[in-house]
Amino acid sequence: MNITILYGHMAKERHTLIYELAEDLSKKHNVRIISGYPSRRISSEVRKYYQKNPVEIVNDNFQITRVGLKIGEGKSLFTRAILYFLLTMSIYSSARKTKSDILYIYSSPPFLGLLAKKLSKICPVVYNAQDIFPDSLIALKNYKETSLLIKLLRKMELRTYQYSTKIITISEEMANTIRSRILDSSKVVVIRNWVDIDKLQPVERNMNKLFDIFNFDRNKFYISYGGDIGLFQNWEFTIDVMDRLKEYCDVVFVFFGNGSYENTLKKILQAKKINNCFILPFQSKEYVSSVYSFGDLELVSLRKNMTKFALPSKISQIFSTGRPVLGFFDYHSNIAFEINNNELGFSPKENDIEGTLDFILNYFNNTSIRFDSNNIRKYAEKEFNRNIQTEKYGLVFQYLMGDKI
């Protein structure tokens, strides 16, 4: 089977999931990724390498072809929209010339989904919704449904769903959101994002080098966060929790990351005199296991209703290190139910500051009630296994080719 993947800006250093999916599919099929030139969150050396090597032969059955302009993604929303549109046209031109039995379109950039209409005349098209656009943009920028931009993007979204043969998304909440907007709900399939369990391992505190690098006391209690410090997170509630715990010098918050909200967060922490919170840079890939093993509790935060449109991949990464999640997101979501009912951590009711503080302080003071790290790790091995999840993609593709599952 010839599988062609259309993706925004492919760099294996950043886009691990799509690279691993292509790797695994290439064991049985011919796989080609067509993408733009990556520019963000990679070193200048890596960027220059990709610009000089538009065709990358990974193995006999796996090739990456980069097309379009080499000037980056732009900073303003308008500039990005123009560049994304031009990239979409370049990817479409290349895809038309590529022999394909299945076309797999990633949800970013959003213009790519529009190719489903024309490309579905060539072969089945599978659309992968890692987040739901424009809902994520509405949440990020506070746009109204009545705005001209959102009306246009909403039409793009519905057209993408209409002409896709199958739609794969990563959670039941997201699947239900999509099903509510289309006529044929049976075309929506849920396949969870995975973790490379062999690479992402628990790191015991006495072996965690980050404590030595940043001179942290291993005997204190840590609530840590690793990822984007952006506008999707529920910072208001998180800050309230930290503010109420600022007098507990043995309870420490550590954030590994950066983002658009970073400077604002630093100013708020300073204004409120929250001195037991530290914001540190993103760590290199070699420390990913150490980052997600750092805390006694690993924080995951999302704004209200965001679980309907997105799901952080860091949750499965945290579980792989055997650490419990402290989840500040929709209490009635599937992921909150999963965490609370499988002893994988704690997700409080919305805005339940007292219940959250009671849990944290009880967890801090009573080592006898700590979550079982081995149980959490085994759960990750079962639910987020790379081979199991990527095999599901292969089964969907075979089904569309006529090999019934």
Q: Tell me, yes or no, if the two domains 2-194+385-400 and 205-383 fold the same way.
A: yes
Long-range contacts of 332-338 (CB under 8 A, 24+ apart): 333/173, 333/307, 334/171, 334/172, 334/173, 334/307, 335/171, 335/173, 335/307, 335/311, 336/307
Superfamily for the 205-383 domain: Glycogen Phosphorylase B; (3.40.50.2000)
Can you tell me the distance from the alpha carbon of 35 to that of 328, in angstroms, rounded to the nearest whole number? 35
What count of other Cβ atoms lies within 10 Å of the Cβ of residue 352?
13
Instruction: For residue range 25-83, list pLDDT tens digits in order.
Output: 999 999 999 999 988 777 888 889 899 999 999 999 999 999 999 887 777 778 888 99
The amino acid at 330: D
Can you tell me the distance from the alpha carbon of 335 to that of 77, in angstroms, rounded to the nearest whole number? 31
Superfamily for the 2-194+385-400 domain: Glycogen Phosphorylase B; (3.40.50.2000)
The amino acid at 376: I
Confidence of residue 136 (pLDDT cuts 50, 70, 90): confident
> Could you state, in order of their start, the residue ranges of all structural domains in the chain?
2-194+385-400, 205-383
pLDDT at 403: 58
Asked if residues 161 and 182 have their Cβ atoms less than 8 Å apart, the reply is yes
Instruction: For residue range 241-285, list pLDDT tens digits in order.
Output: 999 999 999 999 999 999 989 999 999 999 999 999 999 999 988
Provide DSSP, 91-110.
Answer: HHHHHHTS--SEEEEESSSG
pLDDT at 404: 46
Which residues are CB-neighbours of 195 under 8 A, at least 6 positions away? 316, 317, 319, 320, 380, 384, 386
Q: Residue range 160-186: average pLDDT? A: 96
Asked if residues 297 and 360 have their Cβ atoms less than 8 Å apart, the reply is yes
pTM of the model: 0.90
* Structure tokens given for 108: 């970013």
Confidence of residue 405 (pLDDT cuts 50, 70, 90): very low
Tell how strand 30-36 and strand 188-190 pair up. Answer: unpaired
Can you tell me the distance from the alpha carbon of 387 to that of 24, in angstroms, rounded to the nearest whole number? 8
